[in-house]
């Protein structure tokens, strides 16, 4: 049975989520339509450009992304504290980038002391503050934009997306690392790229390019650093740790050499109590992690179940197999 979005996205439980949106149209979101011979590759740039725009507008960071032929993946982190720190003027400026400003807010800007108008306008601005740290609103601003642009190009109307986007809570840093790796390895898993450098329209390719050429990021990505501070959003892995892990898994997916896997297992797996062989088997799956309702270690899963009063979540056995 479909669950209400508010029971899936609970920022008190975790600020990290893996999100997927899939296109329903035979003509695909991107890629090439083999029936008509028409190419839609240019639409990948639409997604990347829109993501960059929204990432600079919302209080939501992008940890990883991958744009495939008929769907895309995102791993997101919501920064509620950042949104709370924004001034009213900053909120208005950001909201104006995606929607028109209503008359009452314009009147408030012209005369902030106007009684009656001020209270109404401030309520609206506070609602915008919440929306600018809301994953559902970010996905709405992304998907509506893409659907309208694609429909206009295709000269048609109707549904463009399969339905509402799917989202998975990522309960701890091991889960975040797992989801990020899964997302970035999509082109290798689909056999359309041989290595990370050739994995076009992914965050891993962007991270590698930035590291080598010190170029300006296409999309502002969440920074990875081996933080020694213990707080909710601290990490125990750096960019180098992550690149080493994804390269190792990518080679294992392509070669499936057990000796190579055992000999070169990255130390970050042991540090985060992740079982290497189970991790690789999960990375080979082609079902968008749909076998898992939520991702996390046993201790975080227990807390998650207790808080949401759930009796069952899909994939709990697989979680326990991967996370020691």
- 56 and 28 both lie in a single domain: yes
Neighbouring C-beta atoms of residue 216, cutoff 10 Å: 7
Cα–Cα dist 128/136, whole Å: 13
- 78 and 108 both lie in a single domain: no
Query: In this predicted model, what pLDDT tens digit does every residue of 36-53 receive, in sequence order?
Result: 667 778 889 999 999 999
Task: With cut-offs at 50, 70 and 90, classify the pLDDT of residue 314.
Answer: confident
Q: What is the pLDDT of residue 40?
A: 79
Looking at the domain assignment, is residue 260 inside a domain?
Answer: yes
- 49 and 106 both lie in a single domain: no
Residue 4 has pLDDT above 70, yes or no: no
State the DSSP H helix or E strand holding residue 255, giving kind and residue range, or none if neither: helix 239-255
Identify the domain boundary among 131, 163, 192.
131
- 298 and 312 both lie in a single domain: yes
Looking at the domain assignment, is residue 2 inside a domain?
Answer: no
Looking at the domain assignment, is residue 4 inside a domain?
Answer: no
- 219 and 263 both lie in a single domain: yes
Residue 251 has pLDDT above 90, yes or no: no
Q: Tell me which long-range contacts 267-270 makes (C-beta under 8 A, separation of at least 24).
A: 268/177, 268/236, 268/237, 268/241, 268/242, 268/244, 269/245
Looking at the domain assignment, is residue 1 inside a domain?
Answer: no
- 170 and 244 both lie in a single domain: yes
- 118 and 243 both lie in a single domain: no
Give residue for tokens 């227990």.
302
Cα–Cα dist 268/278, whole Å: 15
The count of structural domains within the chain is 2
Looking at the domain assignment, is residue 183 inside a domain?
Answer: yes
> What are the angstrom distances between the C-alpha of 167 and each of 9, 184, 293?
8, 17, 9
Residue 29 has pLDDT above 70, yes or no: no
- 123 and 149 both lie in a single domain: no
- 251 and 291 both lie in a single domain: yes
Query: In this predicted model, what pLDDT tens digit does every residue of 159-203 receive, in sequence order?
Result: 888 888 999 999 998 999 999 999 999 999 999 999 999 999 999
The stretch 281-306 carries a mean pLDDT of 81
Backbone angles phi, psi at 168, to 5 degrees: -125, 125
Q: What is the pLDDT of residue 182?
A: 95
Task: With cut-offs at 50, 70 and 90, classify the pLDDT of residue 31.
Answer: low
- 75 and 100 both lie in a single domain: no
Beta strands in 156-222 (DSSP E): 166-169
Task: With cut-offs at 50, 70 and 90, classify the pLDDT of residue 229.
Answer: very low
Question: Taking Cα atoms as reference points, which of 146, 166, 134 lies closest to residue 58?
Answer: 134
Looking at the domain assignment, is residue 219 inside a domain?
Answer: yes
Q: What is the pLDDT of residue 262?
A: 56
Cα–Cα dist 245/261, whole Å: 11
- Average model confidence (pLDDT) across the chain: 85
Query: In this predicted model, what pLDDT tens digit does every residue of 53-66 receive, in sequence order?
Result: 999 999 999 999 99
Q: What is the CATH number of the domain that holds 18?
A: 3.30.70.1290
Q: What is the pLDDT of residue 259?
A: 45
The stretch 196-218 carries a mean pLDDT of 89
- 125 and 268 both lie in a single domain: no
Query: What tokens were used for 289?
Result: 């992690």
Residue 237 has pLDDT above 80, yes or no: yes
* Domain that includes residue 99, residue range: 87-131
- 120 and 255 both lie in a single domain: no
């Amino acid at each position: 049975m479909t669950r209400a979005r508010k029971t899936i996205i609970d920022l008190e439980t975790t600020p990290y989520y893996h999100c997927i949106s899939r296109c329903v149209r035979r003509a695909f979101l991107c890629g090439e339509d083999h029936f008509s011979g028409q190419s839609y590759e240019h639409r990948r740039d639409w997604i990347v450009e829109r993501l960059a725009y929204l990432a600079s507008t919302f209080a939501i960071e992008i940890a990883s992304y991958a744009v495939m032929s008929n769907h895309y993946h995102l791993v997101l982190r919501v920064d509620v504290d950042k949104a709370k720190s924004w001034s009213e003027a900053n909120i208005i400026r950001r909201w104006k980038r995606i929607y028109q400003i209503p008359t009452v807010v314009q009147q408030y800007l012209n005369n902030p002391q106007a009684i009656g108008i001020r209270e109404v306008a401030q309520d609206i601005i506070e609602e915008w503050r919440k929306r600018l740290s809301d994953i559902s609103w970010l996905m709405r601003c992304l998907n509506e934009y893409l659907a309208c642009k694609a429909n206009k190009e295709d000269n048609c109307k109707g549904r463009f997306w399969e339905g509402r986007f799917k989202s998975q809570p990522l309960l701890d840093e091991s889960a975040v690392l797992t989801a990020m790796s899964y997302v970035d390895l999509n082109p290798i898993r689909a056999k359309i790229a041989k290595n990370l450098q050739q994995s076009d329209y992914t965050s891993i390719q962007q991270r590698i390019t930035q590291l080598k050429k010190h170029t300006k990021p296409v999309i502002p990505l969440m920074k990875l650093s081996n933080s020694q501070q213990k707080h909710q959003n601290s990490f125990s892995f750096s960019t180098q740790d992550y690149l080493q892990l994804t390269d190792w898994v990518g080679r294992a997916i392509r070669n499936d050499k057990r000796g190579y896997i055992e000999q070169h297992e990255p130390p970050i797996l042991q540090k985060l109590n992740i079982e290497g062989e189970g991790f690789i088997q999960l990375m080979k799956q082609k079902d968008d992690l749909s076998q898992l309702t939520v991702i996390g270690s046993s201790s975080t899963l227990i807390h998650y179940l207790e808080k949401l009063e759930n009796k069952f979540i899909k994939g709990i056995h697989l979680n326990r197999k991967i996370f020691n």
